[in-house]
């Protein structure tokens, strides 16, 4: 008697499939880099936002030596780690679980009240990690920002040009002050991934590709003139 196989609803969801494919890619990258130098640590730089949630779920139980992996963020809201929109909280809850709980996480905030006051200490701490990163995973907003490189950011130019590791950032378009890795630091990676979902993001990316020179208009353009792996799902 023939038996029907019911496909898993998750397996047919393109966003889930994309997240799983990206998790495979990242696990292979970390495994390769850890094997290349058994004495070294590997660094993974992740983004916040809503897009990475299924990615983190797919990645956190990949079988690799997470005890040799350091994880940090591309950017952060300058809020306490228990705030609902803290990227650190998001990473702790969704990525540093299962096998990946053996990784070491480096947040982008400290006890200072403002990012301008805390940035130098965070910058020194993050610069001391094992750069170049194995992989950087970027998201993108509808205004073409990535990390906290906002078109209306008060220190966008500094973040695009500075050799400092981190830069404080405030923008009228977002409610909290931020801290972001500088473009120079974000480029210190062996692999750069842009992880996007939805037709609206596809449209923004098409617009960005139309003229990659005008970076301050759509800051994602700063990453479009170098190798970039695009993981997109409708």
Ligand X SMILES: O=C(O)[C@H](O)[C@@H](O)[C@H](O)[C@H](O)COP(=O)(O)O
Interface residue with ligand X, options 75, 91, 167, 208 (CB under 6 A)? 75
Distance CA 99, CA 209 (A): 38
Q: Is the peptide bond before 132 cis (omega within 30 degrees of 0)?
A: yes
Interface residue with ligand X, options 107, 139, 153, 219 (CB under 6 A)? 139
Q: How far is the CB of 31 from ligand X (least distance, A)?
A: 25
> In 3-state terms, what secondary structure has residue 92?
helix
Q: Write the interaction track for ligand X spanning residues 85-104; mark x where CB under 6 A is met and - where it is not.
A: --x-----------------
Q: Write the interaction track for ligand X spanning residues 49-68; mark x where CB under 6 A is met and - where it is not.
A: xxx-----------------
Contact between 188 and 130 (Cβ < 8 Å): no
Q: Does 47 bind ligand X (CB under 6 A)?
A: yes
**Which residues sit opposite 42 in a β-bridge?**
69
Q: Residues 6 or more apart from 189 whose CB is under 8 A from it?
A: 45, 132, 133, 134, 135, 136
Q: Does 147 bind ligand X (CB under 6 A)?
A: yes
Structure tokens at 61: 């139980």
Q: How far is the CB of 146 from ligand X (least distance, A)?
A: 5
Structure tokens at 174: 């977002």
* 50 or 206: CB nearest ligand X: 50
Q: Does 141 bind ligand X (CB under 6 A)?
A: yes
């Amino acid at each position: 008697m023939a038996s029907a196989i019911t496909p898993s609803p998750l397996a047919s969801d393109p966003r889930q499939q994309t997240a799983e494919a990206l998790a495979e890619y990242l696990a292979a990258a970390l495994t390769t880099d850890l094997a290349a130098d058994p004495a070294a640590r590997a660094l993974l730089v992740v983004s916040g936002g809503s897009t990475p949630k299924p990615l983190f779920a797919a990645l956190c139980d990949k079988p690799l030596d997470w005890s040799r992996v350091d994880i940090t963020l591309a950017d952060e809201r300058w809020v306490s780690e228990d705030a609902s929109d803290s990227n650190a909280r998001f990473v702790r809850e969704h990525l540093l679980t299962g096998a990946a709980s053996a990784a070491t996480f480096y947040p982008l905030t400290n006890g200072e009240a403002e990012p301008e006051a805390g940035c130098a200490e965070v910058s020194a701490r993050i610069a001391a990690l094992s750069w170049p990163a194995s992989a950087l995973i970027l998201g993108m907003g509808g205004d073409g920002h990535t990390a906290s490189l906002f078109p209306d950011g008060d220190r966008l130019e500094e973040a695009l040009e500075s050799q400092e590791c981190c830069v404080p950032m405030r923008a009228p378009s977002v409610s909290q002050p931020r801290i972001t890795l500088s473009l120079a630091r974000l480029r210190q990676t062996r692999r750069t991934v842009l992880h996007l979902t939805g037709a609206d993001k596809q449209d923004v990316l098409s617009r960005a590709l139309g003229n990659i020179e005008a970076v301050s208009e759509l800051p994602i353009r700063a990453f479009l003139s170098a190798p970039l792996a695009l993981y997109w799902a409708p």
